[in-house]
Structure 1
Amino acid sequence: MPLYQPPAFASPANTASALAAQHPFATLITPGGDTPWISHLVLLPASGQPDYLLGHLAAANGHSQALLQAPSVAVFQGEHGYISPRWYHSSGMVPTWNYRIAHAHCGPAEQISGDELYTLLAQLSARFEGPDGWSPQAVPAQAMAAMQRAIVGFRLPVIQWQCKEKLSQNRSLADRHSVIAALASGGLEEQQLAASMQAALDSDTAS
């Protein structure tokens, strides 16, 4: 499943892993029979092993077994938003959509269980709860054991990272500045996209 990648929007592999860590809610796609398995879940980089992704699915979800047998692709979506032609300095422009996306091409997953699965669940909660928030320790041991039996934890080895950042790099400097200014005056999502566009612009002008 190749990613269409015009040269202007190509980004290095380390940008992909950083985007995935920043936006860990992924779409996981695994071939299976007549149609692919598709699940939406949190995938986090393994501690000290950024080219491994950790996650879990319900044991009742057939995807949890399919991904142990076949390669998968995990898709991570970063900032994105509509770009109006009214925002360009140049005339004769058309609407478009700017975005940042990362693809992780993975080999078959390795199942994890027992203490390793418990550690994974603790890592997931710590990522979003913070050091003083909820943790699996709050769950009685018997209930935690039952919950772990109901899920399949796994480690995905990343074979290749791909990243595409479509942030108006193919437009003039005046157009890029005017689009950034328009987005920066919008809501939080627009401001986040503006910040990503500004970072890309700063990188281009510094090189």
Structure 2
Amino acid sequence: MHPDRNFHWRDRAEMRAFVAETGFGMLFATTPDGPRVAHVPVLFRDEERIAFHLSNGNQITRHLAGADALFVVNGPHDYISPDWYGMDDQVPTWNYVSVELQGQVAALDKAALAELIDALSTDRERRLAPKPVWTRDKMRDGLFDRMLCAITGFEMRIDAWRGTRKLGQNKPAPAREAAADALDALGSSRLAGLMRKS
């Protein structure tokens, strides 16, 4: 989390919606081989737990059960030129949105893993409408179960939520608007829109 309190994001419902919409992030944990990170799709099981899966061959997989881990989701981000503010004596910076979730990890059994894969695919497939939703019924008999043997499912109980929305809140509104206009011109409209709302 950014140390400047102007950028702290405290609205848990907004952070949860951001994580759910993004649906993908980085999972960090300490292992006997040193710190490791895995890039994983994620789904909320309830208000305080996220679930994800990893390849059994991933270096972090065998060390996760019982570990304290950090899951990070990054949103739109971009470089901000000091020239864009229309103010003297400014420095370059980077604006971004990010959420960190920290907590204890537990392994899922095979039935819960199968439910997770179904739920993840359903969540993402519905966003592709009008395309018909893919289901595992389209797979050959037994193939889904065999493929499950290559992955491990986990859930993390969220003990800490930390969010950052560094969107130029420490600048006057006209300076933020000018920087947002410059980002729009470069095609970074999602970040520009967030800056205008901050």
In 2, the alpha carbon distance for the partners of 1:41 and 1:103 equals 14
Residues of 2 paired with 1:77 and 1:68: CA distance? 24
Is 1:66 equivalent to 2:58 in the alignment?
Answer: no
Q: Which digits, 9 at most, give the CA deviation of each residue in 1:77-125, with x for residues without a partner?
A: 0110111122112122221110001100111x22223332222111111
Structure 1 stretches of 4+ moved >3 Å: none
Query: Residue 6 of structure 2 aligns with which residue?
Result: 8
Partner amino acid, structure 2, of 1:147: M
Identical pairs, percent:
27
What's the CA shift for 1:13? 4.5
Structure 2: 5+ residue stretches without partners: none
1:46-125 equivalences under 5 Å are 46=45, 49-107=46-104, 109-125=105-121
What is aligned with 2:41? Answer: 42
* Deviations 1:30-76, CA, capped at 9 Å, x for gaps: 11124112111111211xx1321111001222422211031000010
Q: What is the match of residue 168 of structure 1?
A: 168
- Tell whether the 8 Å contact from 2:2 to 2:8 is kept in structure 1 after alignment: no
Q: CA deviation at 1:25?
A: 1.5
Cα distance, 1:13–1:34 mapped onto 2, change above 3 Å: farther
CA contact (8 A) 1:13 1:162 kept: no
Q: Which amino acid aligns with 1:90?
A: M
**Normalising by the residue count of structure 2, what TM-score does the alignment of the two structures yield?**
0.90
8 Å CA contact 2:95, 2:167 repeated in 1: yes
Query: For the Cα contact (< 8 Å) 2:177–2:195, is it kept in 1?
Result: no
Q: Is the 8 A contact 2:66 2:106 kept in 1?
A: no
1:152 counterpart letter in structure 2: T
Mapped contact 1:121–1:136 kept (Cα < 8 A): no
Q: Deviations over 1:3-41 (max 9, x none)?
A: 342111011151332221122211100111241121111
Q: What amino acid sits opposite 2:76 in the alignment?
A: E
Matched with 1:181 is: 181
Q: Distance in 2 between matches of 1:193 and 1:157?
A: 30
User: Aligned partners of 2:167, 2:142: CA distance in 1, in Å?
Assistant: 50
Measured after TM superposition, the shift of residue 137 of structure 1 is: 2.1
What's the counterpart of residue 192 of structure 2? 194
Q: Which whole-Å deviations, capped at 9, do the CAs of 1:137-157 have from their partners, x for residues lacking one? A: 212231111111111011111
Q: What is the rounded CA distance, in whole Å, between the counterparts of 2:11 and 2:68 in structure 1?
A: 19
What are the ranges of 5 or more consecutive residues in structure 1 without an aligned counterpart?
201-207
What SS class does the counterpart of residue 31 from structure 1 fall into? strand
More strand by share: 2
CA contact (8 A) 1:111 1:155 kept: yes
| Aligned pairs, number | 193
Kindly indicate whether the alpha-carbon contact (under 8 Å) linking 1:13 and 1:161 is maintained by their aligned counterparts in 2: no
Q: SS of the residue aligned with 1:141?
A: coil
